[in-house]
Amino acid sequence: MCAFEPNHSRSVDDGKSKELALEIYDYIRTTNEACFKWAKRGLEIFRLITNRKSENQNAYERFFQHVHLGPPVDAVGLAKPSPDLIVLVEYDVHFGSALCPDLDYLGTGKPCSFPAAMNAEGYHALFFGSPRVSESGHVAGSGIGVFAKSRVFDVAQAKGAAVAEASVFNMADAQGGSVTRHENGTLNIVVACGAREPYGLQVNNFDLHSKSHKRGSMKGAGLEELSVNDRKNVAMCTLEFRHEVRASHSRMHP
């Protein structure tokens, strides 16, 4: 994180309070441009979670450093593998917005959405929407993101569901949920809060219906359900190792 150390010896009454305020404002503005604006931060997050090389070599010394993967290249310059499974909480860029626009994540010169970039990297992209919904009643833009490497995992079919044809994997529902299969075999799945195994897949999204003490009441005077803007959700999905991965594991561990 960037640190700001204002001159605390100044007094707001010494005639320089306006100068100090402008100094603080300018620091916040420039820091936002340098560190937190999505055009910068979004690319670094994508490179970090997919273990791509960062343009900023200091990025791996920040608070979001990898626990096990470390820098994307080893001591002799060989690329290290990307994770098989990635989970992001408070994930709010699946649909994009004016604040989080499409970016050139892949370095091809063609901007795309975050989930499209993850699909292109070979990941199934699953978005589990929070209890909050948009004005139209559809899935809002925040929730839980799960990304599973498609050469390792399949999203499991619901029990009793017929094996879905490729054409089935292009559907949407009234709550804004959807599932799309791309040419490389990856899936982009949006699961509305409250959905139970939509599209014949083992994916579920539960509203916790969290409660809190009533506002203005004494502790123990009763509980009331939090508003949808404050409630949390639980995402559940079943991933299965692909047949060739299972076979490889069987040969390694007879």
User: Tokens 């070979």 belong to which residue?
Assistant: 122
Buried b (16+ CB within 10 A) or exposed e, 101-134: eebebbeeeeebbbbbbbbebbbbbbbbbbbbbe
Q: Taking Cα atoms as reference points, which of 234, 177, 174 lies closest to residue 201? A: 177
Model confidence pTM above 0.85: no
Give the number of other Cβ atoms within 10 Å of residue 145's Cβ: 23
- Cα separation, 234 vs 194, whole angstroms: 10
- Helix (H), strand (E) at residue 224: strand 223-225
Instruction: Report the SS3 class of residue 125.
Output: strand
- Cα separation, 180 vs 169, whole angstroms: 5
What's the confidence (pLDDT) of residue 1?
37
What's the confidence (pLDDT) of residue 40?
85
Q: What is the DSSP letter of 179?
A: E
Per-residue tokens: 249: 């594991």
Q: What percent of the chain is helix, strand and coil (3-state, nearest 5)?
A: 25, 25, 50
Query: What ranges make up the beta strands (E) of 54-194?
Result: 85-91, 123-129, 143-149, 153-155, 170-172, 178-181, 187-191
Residue 140 CB contacts under 8 Å (≥ 6 apart), including other chains: 129, 130, 132, 133, 134
Instruction: Report the SS3 class of residue 241.
Output: strand
- 178 pairs with which residues across the strands? 172, 190
What's the confidence (pLDDT) of residue 54?
63
What's the confidence (pLDDT) of residue 213?
77
Mean pLDDT per 10-residue section of the chain, whose length is 254 residues: 47 70 89 81 88 61 49 56 90 88 94 96 95 72 93 88 52 74 92 88 91 69 82 93 68 51
- Cα separation, 206 vs 228, whole angstroms: 13
Give the number of other Cβ atoms within 10 Å of residue 219's Cβ: 5
- Asked if 150 and 83 touch (Cβ cutoff 8 Å), the reply is no
Report the relative pairing of strands 187-191 and 123-129 from DSSP bridges: parallel
